[in-house]
Amino acid sequence: MARIITLTPNPTYDFAVEVDFVEANRKLRCKNPDTKPGGGGINVARAASRLGADVLAIFTTAGLYGDALKKAVAEEQVSMRAIPVAGETRLAFHVHEQDKGDEYRFNLPGAAMSAAEVQSMLDVLKEEARAGDIIVGSGSLPGGEPVDFWSRAAHVAKENGAHFFLDSINGLETAFAEGVFLFRCNQFEYQAIANRTLEWPDEITALAEELVGKGAAERVIITHGGDGSVMATPNGTVSTPVIKVRAQSAVGAGDSFMAAFIVATMRGYSDKDALRYASAGAAATRMSAGTALFDPADVERLYAG
């Protein structure tokens, strides 16, 4: 059976808190603290596991927060291969201001990776990947040596007969030169490629089609906030509107979108239905507070409409 394998070279240990208000030069009293494992690939694995997929999360760990991260992943019963690196696993701090309903997100830098540490992670991927698996590279790249990490991971995936899905805007030049099976970005990230703001839906769709036409990716998904999402493929383009919900937090919504899309694809859904199922996954996570992911029952309910 095909497996989803996620790669997270720059994971986080996530803190989420609530405050009554945010004001400069004031001591802010935090309440309702919560911690979760974080980082794009880890969140994709967590979300896909909740939807019943067979998953493996490969990620780096360093220091005390790295130990806490491994424990948190294990508590969610997500299979993992943790790659030890020097330094300290980074923190991400999420603050929800109750007075205005605003959300503040602070991401610290991660531990730099050496060439040997990068190779260790790729060696584990080569050992684990099988024909038909979906390999997901997600999140930011840390400092140090991994500037071409995604392209090298995509190459390993191809050698093993797996498909490589990329959900990151770091290292794109070499990744696109290698070619990936699927690339996803959001309404803020696509500007790193287009170098300007584009109009929804026509110009956004044209960008997705251009990337497919150039061979950067066989499929390109661009999510555009409250407007919806579009996917370009060699066989045409499909789109779906966003599913409206009463949102509490956007943390993990993009990762939930990616996980739900992959699971739907593995279930044999059509492109349009897979995109809608992905939208349901993102919407269900937006309903959750802090850094929590979705309730699977909400995904199915929202998808059914």
pLDDT means per 10 residues, the chain with 305 residues, are 95 94 94 94 98 98 96 97 96 92 91 94 98 97 93 98 97 97 96 94 97 97 96 97 92 96 98 98 94 95 96
Backbone angles phi, psi at 33, to 5 degrees: -65, 145
When divided into structural domains, the chain yields a total of 1
pLDDT at residue 250, rounded to an integer: 87
pLDDT at residue 291, rounded to an integer: 83
pLDDT at residue 1, rounded to an integer: 74
pTM of the model: 0.96
Kindly report the CATH number assigned to the domain that includes residue 168: 3.40.1190.20
The two structure tokens encoding residue 221: 């998904």
Does residue 33 have a cis peptide bond before it, meaning omega lies within 30 degrees of 0? no
Is there a catalytic annotation at residue 255?
yes
> What is the extent of the structural domain holding 79?
4-304
Candidates 186, 139, 163, 182; CA nearest to 8 is 139
pLDDT at residue 55, rounded to an integer: 98
**Which entry of 255, 271, 273, 295 is annotated as an active-site residue?**
255
The two structure tokens encoding residue 145: 């040596």
In the DSSP assignment, the letter for residue 51 is T
pLDDT at residue 119, rounded to an integer: 97
pLDDT at residue 256, rounded to an integer: 98
